Amino acid sequence: MRYSTAGFPFSRRLGRCCLIGFLLSGGGCLPVMKDYAGHRVFNPMYLFYLEWGLRDKWQKPDEVITALELPPSAVVADIGAGGGYFTEKFSAAVGPSGRVYATDVQEVMIKRLGKRVGRRGLGNVSVVRGGFHDTMLPESCCDLAFFSSVYKEIDARISYMRNVRRILKPGGRVAILEYRRDVDAPGPEPGSRLAQEQVIDEMQSAGFVLLKSLDFLPREYFLVFGAAP
Ligand X SMILES: C[S@@+](CC[C@H](N)C(=O)[O-])C[C@H]1O[C@@H](n2cnc3c(N)ncnc32)[C@H](O)[C@@H]1O
Residue 144 or residue 154: which is nearer to ligand X going by CB?
A: 154
The continuous run of DSSP H or E covering 208 comes out as: strand 208-214
Pairing label, strands 99-104, 142-148: unpaired
Per-residue x/- mask for ligand X, residues 50 to 89, rule CB under 6 A? x----------------------------xxxx--xx---
Q: Verify binding: residue 48, ligand X, rule CB under 6 A.
A: no
Tally of residues, the chain: 229
**Minimal distance, residue 229 CB to ligand X, in Å:** 27
Closer CB to ligand X, 99 or 193, in the complex: 193
* Spatial separation of the C-alpha atoms in residues 55 and 53, rounded to whole Å: 5
- Scan residues 96-155 and list those touching ligand X (CB under 6 A): 103-106, 109, 130, 132, 148-150, 153-154
Question: Letter for the amino acid at 155?
Answer: D
Question: Any idea what DSSP says for residue 28?
Answer: S
Instruction: Report the nearest approach of ligand X to the CB of residue 37 (Å).
Output: 10
End-to-end Cα spacing for the chain? 51
Among 5, 27, 41, 125, binds ligand X (CB under 6 A): 41
What mask of x and - would describe binding to ligand X in positions 17 to 36, judged by CB under 6 A? --------------------
Comparing CB distances to ligand X, the nearer of 72 and 163 is 163
Q: What is the Cα–Cα distance from 156 to 29, expressed in whole angstroms?
A: 26
Distances (CA, A) of 63 to 89, 170, 198, 216: 11, 25, 25, 9
Q: How many CA atoms lie within 13 A of 97 on its CB side?
A: 4
E strand intervals along 88-167? 99-104, 125-129, 142-148
The count of other CB atoms within 10 Å of the CB of residue 227 is: 17
Residues from 170 through 229 that contact ligand X (CB under 6 A): none
Name the minimum Å distance from CB 81 to ligand X: 5
Q: Based on CB atoms, which residue is closest to ligand X, 175 or 200?
A: 175
Number of residues in contact with ligand X under rule CB under 6 A: 21
Binding site for ligand X (CB under 6 A): 41-42, 50, 79-82, 85-86, 103-106, 109, 130, 132, 148-150, 153-154
